[in-house]
Every structure is written in structure tokens, then in C-alpha cells.
Amino acid sequence: MARAVSRASGSGSFPAPAPAVILVSGFAVADDTKTKEVKVKDILLKVPASWKQEKPKSRLRLAQFQIPAAKGGGENGELAIFSFGASDLKANVRRWISQFEAEGRKTKITTGEAKLGEYVFVEISGTYKKSIGPPVERKTKPVPGSRVMAVILVVPDKGVYYFKMVGQDTTVAVQGNALRVAFGGDASKEKEIKPDEQKLPDDKE
């Protein structure tokens, strides 16, 4: 993973990518869960048909989906996808973790490899510090019972893709497999990194 990250890491500013989402087709997989293929910039994803594609809230987002609330009620979640030519993986993981209050926070970090490239999968639950108002004001409000699933996917010669799914714990927790299927990840082959070890995939040996 360190090799892929070294290629992805960099400095400087990044131009805002233009939205590039194309719905290709719909089909059913073996477990009868309907999925659809969606092209996001240079990669093709397979997402559940129940994920409602929306107009991105900002020009930095390549794609955005509404994630249906878990059975029994609750609020819908959201998945946003970004891409930049280079980035600091460690800084992004730590930033996601810092978006939750420390008390009661649970974090799991794993690394794996899909056909598209190597990836980091981050799962955090607890009280989310939800951004409110203009981003420049950096105001947040605490939202207990939240969960984030985030992915950093390093695609050789095509850049680094960031997936961030956020919502109620019950809504997001059941989407782990679907999120991995979207880009070809496999939880059974991932290697866990303990957060308290403070060793993330872009740490150099």
C-alpha cells in the first residue's frame, strides 16, 4: 500500500473536477438485489438501485447518492464521491476521525486491494460533528448515533477517489458490503490497522 500511496501523495492545490457521472445500465446480481452501473469520471461503479442518484451539492463532488433509511424508519443517508490527482491519505483519515467527538467514538481502519487499485476503508461511529451554515464559518452541531463509512481508492494513472457515506448508524451500518461491491472491495481480504497504533497506510517504513 505504501507504494501506491507514495504515488498518490503530493502537495499544492487541485483543480475542482467537473461532474462526470453517466448511468450505463441496470441488472440483478445473484442475491436478487438490483444494481446499476454508474460511471464516475474514469471508473465504473456497481451500486444498488435503491441508492438514488442526486445532483451534487457542490462542484467538488463527482457524484452524490441518497442512501435509503434502514427498515423501521429513520433518516436517509448520503454518499458523496470526490477525486483529486494527489493527496495525503493519512491526513484525510485523521480528518474523518476528528469529525466525531472523542467520547464514545469507535473507529475501524482496514486496507485492501480491488481490481481498480489499493484502498483504505474507514468506519467510524458515535457523535458526528455535522457541518452547518457556510463552510467558512466552520460551525457544527453534534449528532449522536451517527456513522461514517469512507474509502480512499488509489487508481493507477487515474487518480485518487474518495467515497464518504454519512448518516444514522442504523442506516449506514448495513451498507458496508454494498459500498465495497461498488468499487470491487472484499472485506474478507482486508487487513485491519488499529487506530491506537497511529500507523496509517502512507506511513513510510
Tens digits of pLDDT across the chain (205 residues): 544 544 454 444 334 444 454 444 443 333 446 899 999 999 999 999 999 999 999 999 999 999 999 887 789 999 999 997 666 788 899 999 999 999 999 999 999 999 999 999 999 999 999 988 777 778 899 999 999 999 999 999 999 999 999 999 999 999 999 999 999 999 999 999 876 554 444 444 3
Within 8 A by CB and 6+ apart from 76, the residues are: 66, 67, 68, 69, 167, 171
- Write down how long the chain is: 205
The residue extents of the domains of the chain are 2-11+74-197
Class of domain 2-11+74-197: alpha beta
pLDDT at position 148 is 98
pLDDT at position 17 is 44
What is the Cβ-side half-sphere exposure of residue 58, based on CA atoms within 13 angstroms? 8
> Which DSSP symbol is given to 15?
P
pLDDT at position 121 is 97
pLDDT at position 74 is 82
